[in-house]
Structure 1
């Protein structure tokens, strides 16, 4: 396992302890940590970068034992996208490979969801934040129809276990879901370097 990933996980744990999960402090400082992580593309294990031909994959890289945060690799096959959804917790998204389009939505007076401005394209090294206080409903898609894209997401909770919602933009109706993860096992961050 990569020292870069291990060092980021250790720094995230220290950040959570130091800030007491105060959202503004977490977002500002975690944004820097994730930017540092995605500035290099030499650390993500191959097994956490495998696409599926029909749907995007969500690999848990690290889950805090107290469910205070989780670090996840999202792998987008060509043209794949999420439904319109929320998170209910803060999140920091860093682009590692390829590009993704982040389209925020807002609720209109009639209850429907409307795109809020043009979608923002994230390219390698770019970082964005979400949370219920700054905007939490969006749709994410691979910006490419011919290649895989990978983004690294940090969430303020165990995102694979959190009850969230997907939305029908035309009606504003929501449906509860729990995303889970694509991997059956998490990587061993503490393995000795060059250990077989």
Structure 2
């Protein structure tokens, strides 16, 4: 089961990444670090974490251009921050026009905030034979919206850029260093394949 919280975003110019551009991200990192230090249960973590993420994606004036570059053939995942203890990581997910993921899982909790454009998330569950089955309609995320997911609620989905003619960017937060986590993709016939996503970074952040 995926849950969405609606919000409103503002747009703006991409600022100098060495200036004040990182302040909203730093504010989010500090807030989430304090939240995790209290060792909340997952429900509290997801609810409060979504509340912290919403202000970050409610403005589109802080993400450096280097972390919003699409690839012509596939989506990109750029690391923005990894907690030193690897309790969480933050990435920008960059979609070229019409790009789509395979059906996949996460194995950890996650928060997804829409920064720019829009994306559609189709939730799935696995039936007794391991075949992915759609569970409800796709969830549309627009700028400012936040969605939560976890293995407990259901963390299998297929995500696509909602637009065929423009780039979309979302900010994802995961309960691990997601680029190193072994996860699975699923074919519609029920075949399961292991993968580790890695990151697309040509440069590494220091928020």
Secondary structure of residue in 2 paired with 1:13: helix
Equivalent residue pairs, number: 187
Q: Residue in 2 aligned with 1:108? A: 127
1:68 to 76, 80, 87: 87
Q: Residue in 2 aligned with 1:176? A: 194
The CA distance in 1 between the partners of 2:128 and 2:32, in whole Å, is 39
Give 5+ residue unaligned stretches, structure 1.
Answer: 190-196
The CA distance in 1 between the partners of 2:169 and 2:104, in whole Å, is 19
CA RMSD after TM alignment: 1.1
Give 5+ residue unaligned stretches, structure 2.
Answer: 1-20
Are 1:149 and 2:168 matched, yes or no?
Answer: yes
TM-score (normalizing by structure 1): 0.92
Secondary structure of residue in 1 paired with 2:81: strand
The CA distance in 2 between the partners of 1:123 and 1:160, in whole Å, is 25
1:38 to 57, 73, 82: 57
Using the TM superposition, give the Cα deviation of residue 8 of structure 1 relative to its aligned residue in structure 2, in angstroms: 0.8
Using the TM superposition, give the Cα deviation of residue 184 of structure 1 relative to its aligned residue in structure 2, in angstroms: 3.7
Q: Residue in 2 aligned with 1:194? A: none
Runs of 4+ in 1 over 3 A off after TM superposition: none
Contact 2:114 2:141 in 1 (8 A): yes
Alignment of 1:111-190 (within 5 A): 111-170=130-189, 172-189=190-207
For residues 119-153 of structure 1, the C-alpha deviation after alignment (integer angstroms, 9 at most, x for no partner) is: 11100011111110001110010000000000000
For residues 81-103 of structure 1, the C-alpha deviation after alignment (integer angstroms, 9 at most, x for no partner) is: 11100000000000000000000
Secondary structure of residue in 2 paired with 1:2: helix
Secondary structure of residue in 2 paired with 1:160: helix
Contact 2:81 2:206 in 1 (8 A): no
Using the TM superposition, give the Cα deviation of residue 188 of structure 1 relative to its aligned residue in structure 2, in angstroms: 2.4
Q: Residue in 2 aligned with 1:13? A: 33
Contact 2:127 2:133 in 1 (8 A): yes
Using the TM superposition, give the Cα deviation of residue 112 of structure 1 relative to its aligned residue in structure 2, in angstroms: 1.3
Using the TM superposition, give the Cα deviation of residue 21 of structure 1 relative to its aligned residue in structure 2, in angstroms: 5.3
For residues 43-91 of structure 1, the C-alpha deviation after alignment (integer angstroms, 9 at most, x for no partner) is: 1011000001000000000001111100110000000011100000000
Contact 2:58 2:143 in 1 (8 A): yes
Using the TM superposition, give the Cα deviation of residue 117 of structure 1 relative to its aligned residue in structure 2, in angstroms: 1.2
Q: Residue in 2 aligned with 1:98? A: 117
- Point out the more displaced range, 3-12 or 179-188: 179-188
